[in-house]
Amino acid sequence: MASAAEQLASNLNFAAFAKAEDLKKRIWFTLGALLVYRLGTYIPLPGINPDAFAQAFQQQSGGVLGMFNMFAGGAVERMAIFALGIMPYISASIIMQLMTSVIPTLEALKKEGEQGRKVINQYTRYGTVLLAIVQAYGISVGLEGGNGIVTDPGIFFRISAVITLVGGTMFLMWLGEQITARGIGNGISLIIFAGIVAGLPSAIGGTLELGRTGALSTGLILAIIVLAIVVIAAIVFFERAQRRLLIQYPKRQVGNRMFQGDTSHLPLKLNTSGVIPPIFASSLLLLPATVAGFSATTDMPGWASTMLAALGHGQPLYMALYAAMIAFFAFFYTAIVFNPKDTADQLKKHSGFIPGYRPGERTAEYIDYVLTRITAVGAVYLVVVCLLPEFLISATGVPFYLGGTSLLIVVSVTLDTVAQIQGHLIAHQYEGLIKKSKLRGGKKGR
């Protein structure tokens, strides 16, 4: 208990933070980079009529464009130079992860260490450029099809729009890498985090305005606040939850010396897949509504209109498919990013074993068994968190987006960033102790 209290006091040592000059520089650099990103979300794409596009966007905000707008910090709504956001890079990263587990050449590159990772990262950048070009061209063609959105449609507008949007995505990718290298936290995650948080004040203000006008009761608003705190606490608990498997290493003899056997733990996260399952599930479910919004509703057959209505927010079919897709992608993505056989082979290579299980195939089967069980719990957790706002919106009509993918990303990125800040503080304190010990040693020598 005493050591835990001392560690907590160390983590909250503001005096140490004041002396950590390198950490303060990193924080200021991160804030400055995020400020540049936010300014870019207000620079409009050349050749666009903002009023006409805003009117067209309002008709499509309930589809996949609304979700992309949330991740892009409102850049899609304003059709800014950062309208594509960082999503092409994320899509390319996911595709590369899938290809790494399927193509033997890429799998061998992944096992080569730092050099292999650099090659895979370069392939990911190339994939980002290709995806961004395709998406930017599709956006330019779609904008020309709108009523008065593009002031001077034609090949020149398409080329300028593609160059501007692709350049914006590549700049964000570079900015994210700079934040990771010279700032605090994962740069790509922080850019998405900043985009989501930017829309939070308007969402809270809209909810309070509904309370002021009497559309929402004070009790309901207080209940929403309490529920939000409970959901955040639950997300923190489940995101940090782990199942630790005991790993033992036998005694070994080096020369004439006998070294005692050691023990460690193999941590398995409860939610290994992170926020990928909700993103995939919501994108696939919102895609039909987005495609239908761009086409004339009167030209749709009766069965298509019925299916589209059944896939609307709050409908039973939408809820069931959303939950099923989240659960499927939770297991699918976990299988992609974590290979029990490779883990078992690494343990066997370093003479480690799980007590009661033979190294090799039996260890891999046991790890896969445990991982499947905790992934089932993690999938249920994701389904509950992501369906909660759907139930609230359908039952109360509250427009405030509680829970779901946005809150998962915000809490996860916050936890990772705080952990990195604490790591820098601890490293700074250790450096200070080492310097003091050297000075004391020098004084004793004199």
Give all domains of the chain, ordered by start, each with its CATH number. Answer: 14-198 (1.10.3370.10), 216-402 (1.10.3370.10)
Confidence of residue 280 (pLDDT cuts 50, 70, 90): confident
Identify the pLDDT of residue 295.
53
**201-223 per-residue burial string, b: 16 or more CB within 10 A, e: under 16:** eeeeeebeebbeeeebeeeebee
Q: Which residue has the higher pLDDT, 21 or 386?
A: 386
Residue 12 has pLDDT above 50, yes or no: no
pLDDT digit string, tens, across residues 172-189: 999 999 998 888 888 888
Per DSSP, helices labelled H in 199-244 are: 200-213, 218-240
Q: Which residue has the higher pLDDT, 286 or 142?
A: 142
Residue 266 — φ and ψ, nearest 5°? -100, 105
Supply 307's token pair. Answer: 């299916």
Mean per-residue pLDDT for 375-386? 91
Residue 141 has pLDDT above 90, yes or no: no
Mean per-residue pLDDT for 286-302? 58
Supply 47's token pair. Answer: 């050749």
- Using alpha carbons only, what angle is made at residue 375 by residues 371 and 380, rounded to the nearest 5 degrees? 160
Among candidate residues 318, 267, 325, 247, the one with its CA nearest the CA of residue 289: 318
Residue 107 — φ and ψ, nearest 5°? -65, -40
d(CA 349, CA 420): 31
Identify the pLDDT of residue 175.
93
pLDDT digit string, tens, across residues 333-376: 888 888 888 888 888 887 788 888 888 888 889 999 999 999 99
pLDDT digit string, tens, across residues 16-57: 666 677 788 888 999 999 999 999 888 888 888 887 887 777
pLDDT digit string, tens, across residues 205-262: 777 777 778 777 788 778 888 888 888 888 889 988 888 888 887 766 666 666 666 7
DSSP state of 113: -
Mean per-residue pLDDT for 138-148? 79
Among candidate residues 196, 178, 173, the one with its CA nearest the CA of residue 66: 196
Please report, rounded to a whole number, the percentage of residues in the chain having pLDDT higher than 90. 12
| β-bridge pairing 252-254 and 242-249 | unpaired
Supply 349's token pair. Answer: 């290579």
Confidence of residue 163 (pLDDT cuts 50, 70, 90): very high
Among candidate residues 365, 394, 285, the one with its CA nearest the CA of residue 329: 285
Half-sphere exposure of 234 (CA within 13 A, CB side): 18
Residue 115 has pLDDT above 70, yes or no: yes
Residue 44 — φ and ψ, nearest 5°? -75, 155
H helix or E strand, kind and range, residue 289: helix 276-294
